[in-house]
């Protein structure tokens, strides 16, 4: 019950006061199946891209983090080809930093920040990570290409 009222409150806030560049909604009236869109930030290789994400809210939310993955392919050291995201706030402690005080809005904002500032030292995609570290121009070129190919409307 707590979960349902909290989710309703979060969704209503996401609708009325969404973080800049982020939208989130229920998928087919399922309270635990959400979709989100993140706009690629200005001055990043993802600029002008629209990235779709899937959010599955577990039974134990907010004591367990939602499972979030990209549905839109993205060229990024911390996001794999299945759309899984390597980000500490998406995992439970001791390995992660999830806390019940966090919410879906915070998570989406963190993902948006990760898009703008990859963490090559904790990669899911080792090859993209080393490209980011040692050949940034090539990384930026590839990321822009993927954004144009998969995230342009």
Phi and psi of 141, rounded to 5°? -65, -50
Helices (H) and strands (E) in the chain — how many of each? Answer: 4, 4
* Distance separating alpha carbons of residues 39 and 50, to the nearest angstrom: 5
Spatial CA neighbour of 29 closest among 41, 52, 11: 11
Q: Say if strands 30-39 and 50-56 run parallel, antiparallel, or are unpaired.
A: antiparallel
Q: Is 86 a catalytic residue?
A: yes
The answer to whether 104 touches 18, Cβ cutoff 8 Å, is no
Active-site hit among 22, 85, 86, 87? 86
CA 110 to each of CA 2, 23, 55, 57, 114: distance values in angstroms, whole numbers, following the listed order: 24, 14, 14, 17, 6
Give the catalytic positions in this structure. 86
């Amino acid at each position: 019950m707590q979960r349902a009222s909290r989710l309703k409150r979060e969704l209503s806030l996401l609708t009325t006061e969404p973080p800049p560049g982020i939208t989130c909604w229920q998928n087919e009236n399922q309270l635990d199946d959400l979709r989100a869109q993140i706009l690629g930030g200005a001055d990043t290789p993802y600029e002008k891209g629209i990235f779709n994400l899937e959010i599955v809210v577990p039974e134990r939310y907010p004591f367990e983090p939602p499972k979030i993955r990209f549905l839109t392919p993205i060229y990024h050291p911390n996001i794999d080809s299945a759309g899984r995201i390597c980000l500490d706030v998406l995992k439970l402690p001791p390995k992660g930093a999830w806390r019940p005080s966090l919410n879906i809005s915070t998570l989406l904002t963190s993902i948006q920040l990760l898009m703008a500032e990859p963490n090559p030292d904790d990669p899911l995609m080792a090859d993209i990570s080393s490209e980011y570290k040692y050949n940034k121009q090539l990384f930026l070129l590839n990321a822009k290409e993927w954004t144009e190919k998969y995230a342009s409307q």
